């Protein structure tokens, strides 16, 4: 069986070695490289072509978000798991906009890392459960204050299905096949969803899905 090739990027050696031990206990995973800053990570990603990059957000020279952006721009097949201490929406959204597939809190790295790597290697997204909770709490509080209804109730069952599949990273064509719909119809559903939820772009849609617990 082909092993998942992983690149670790963190400016702290201790953290990297801890992560490496965790990953190498898995028979189907191999750490192929380590980088201590963003620039090195981008360079190594280019030369090693790993399947998954597990990368800290706060790094010197080039931070993790910028590095993720550059990697996913150049090598769309690389899946990035962002490693962060922050469960705040600002971070999650930026990570998503930079093209990260997974968002892992350092607190729960030890218990969630393997699941996260596996998920993103299968082109699924992964978010630490604590992140979803914080996002949801913020969202609910905001709704309560503004007195607005959760627009999710406005979605039709079909739209909810499409929302989940889009958030999981499926293409319009995949979704059309899975749901026996035309690509055109899927596109219409998608734009309806965006309009109803007042979302701008896929990252916001994913964030919304994470918040609602539609994906994890």
* Interface ranges with another protein (CB under 8 A): 11-12, 14-15, 17-19, 21-22, 25, 57-58, 63-65, 85-86, 88-91, 93-94, 106-107, 109-111, 137-138, 141, 145
Q: How far is the CB of 167 from another protein (least distance, A)?
A: 21
Q: How far is the CB of 132 from another protein (least distance, A)?
A: 15
How would you class 76 by CB atoms within 10 Å of its CB: exposed for 0-12, middle for 13-18, buried for 19 or more? Answer: exposed
Coil vs helix vs strand at 139:
helix
Q: CB 119: neighbour CB atoms within 10 A?
A: 22
Tokens encoding 159: 């739209």
Tokens encoding 150: 């959760």
Residue closer to another protein by CB (options 65, 155) is 65
Q: How far is the CB of 160 from another protein (least distance, A)?
A: 27
Residue closer to another protein by CB (options 37, 159) is 37
User: Long-range contact list for 38-47, CB < 8 A, 24+ apart?
Assistant: 38/9, 38/62, 38/63, 38/64, 38/66, 38/67, 39/67, 40/9, 41/7, 41/9, 41/67, 41/71, 42/67, 42/70, 42/71, 44/7, 44/9, 45/7, 45/71, 45/74, 45/75, 45/78, 46/74, 46/75
Residue closer to another protein by CB (options 1, 14) is 14
Residue closer to another protein by CB (options 11, 51) is 11
Q: How far is the CB of 197 from another protein (least distance, A)?
A: 19
Residue closer to another protein by CB (options 56, 159) is 56
Q: How far is the CB of 84 from another protein (least distance, A)?
A: 9
Residue closer to another protein by CB (options 80, 162) is 80
Q: How far is the CB of 196 from another protein (least distance, A)?
A: 22
């Amino acid at each position: 069986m082909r092993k998942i090739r992983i690149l670790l990027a963190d400016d702290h050696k201790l953290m990297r070695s801890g992560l490496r031990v965790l990953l190498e206990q898995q028979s189907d995973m191999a750490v192929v490289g380590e980088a201590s800053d963003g620039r090195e990570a981008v360079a190594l990603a280019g030369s090693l072509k790993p399947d998954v990059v597990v990368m800290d957000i706060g790094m010197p020279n080039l931070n993790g978000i910028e590095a993720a952006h550059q990697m996913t721009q150049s090598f769309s097949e690389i899946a990035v798991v962002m490693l962060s201490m922050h469960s705040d929406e600002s971070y999650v959204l930026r990570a998503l906009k930079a093209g990260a597939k997974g968002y892992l809190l350092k607190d729960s790295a030890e218990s969630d890392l393997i699941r996260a790597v596996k998920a993103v290697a299968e082109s699924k997204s992964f978010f630490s459960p604590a992140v979803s909770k914080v996002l949801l709490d913020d969202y609910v509080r905001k709704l309560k204050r503004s007195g607005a209804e959760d627009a999710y109730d406005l979605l039709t069952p079909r739209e909810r299905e499409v929302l989940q599949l889009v958030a999981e990273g499926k293409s319009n064509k995949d979704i059309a096949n899975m749901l026996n719909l035309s690509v055109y119809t899927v596109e219409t559903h998608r734009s309806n969803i965006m309009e109803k939820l007042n979302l701008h772009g896929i990252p916001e849609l994913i964030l919304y899905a994470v918040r609602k617990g539609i994906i994890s």
